[in-house]
Amino acid sequence: MNTLHPVPEDTSTPWPADLDRAQRTLISLGVAADVLVPGRALGAVVEQVPFLVNIDASHRFLSVRAIWETDMDPAETSRWMIAAADSWNREKYFPTIYWLVSELATVQVCADFVVDTLAGISDEQLRENLRAGIATGISAIDYMKEAAHQTLELPVLKPRPTEPTSTSDKVSTAGGRPLSGEVPSAPHSAAPSAPHGARW
């Protein structure tokens, strides 16, 4: 049963996070988000990168996860994958890159941007964090694709075409990288557990 909370009249007062708020905010950013699990998970695709937006059962952590489904064999690429993810995680505060073995027994690369909403999150913070999670998630996945292309000589992937700059109110990237000045620092962040390739 959902607990009712008063809705603030301003956009700067923190209040409890939920998936409906996340979906409305994504739509306002120009991102079409579909409900995958009611109350728990949304799915979206931005610049050909799939995203999973999830709120955990305790409603404490909001996760924006970018995903790259590869056809790579974990046994053949695990050392490279750990090294590439570790290189990113050493240099970047967020998102955290790690990898999983998919249901098809191939490598699935994930980039998680996690927000701690224990104290609530304002509309402004939610908007800022969703924008940052999507923009940096695209950058992280592009980094791993480029690293795979250079290191494993995979014919993966052509450079992402540069897109026209959109308004600062929307999620926007150029060449798969956040546009200068458009990715704010996260007011809340925490790292999820990751079975492979993550650095703590």
Tokens 């995979």, residue located: 154
Condensed to tens digits (0 to 9), the pLDDT of residues 53-85 reads 999 988 899 999 999 999 999 999 989 999 999
Mean pLDDT (the chain) is 78
Distances (CA, A) of 82 to 26, 31, 62, 94, 197: 31, 31, 25, 17, 4
- Largest Cα–Cα separation, the chain: 55
Count the alpha carbons within 13 Å of 103 in the hemisphere toward its beta carbon. 0
Asked whether 138 and 47 are in contact (CB, 8 A), the reply is: yes
What are the structural domains, with CATH classification, of the chain? 19-157+174-178 (3.30.1460.70)
Short-list 54, 55, 64, CA closest to 138: 64
Is the predicted pLDDT of residue 50 greater than 90, yes or no?
yes
Q: Which whole-number Å values give the CA distances from 9 to 6, 12, 120, 124, in the listed order? A: 9, 9, 15, 12
pLDDT value of position 97? 98
Distance (Å, rounded) from C-alpha 42 to C-alpha 57? 14
100-125 pLDDT, tens per residue?
999 999 999 999 999 999 888 999 99
Question: pLDDT tens-digit profile of 151-177?
Answer: 876 555 444 444 433 333 455 433 333
Question: Which residue in 199, 186, 178, 189 sits closest to 98, CA to CA?
Answer: 199
Locate 172 and state its tokens. Answer: 């926007």
Q: Is the pLDDT of residue 196 over 60?
A: no
Give the pLDDT confidence score for residue 150 in this predicted structure: 86
Name the packing angle between helices 123-151 and 74-91 (round to 10°): 130
pLDDT score, position 17: 87
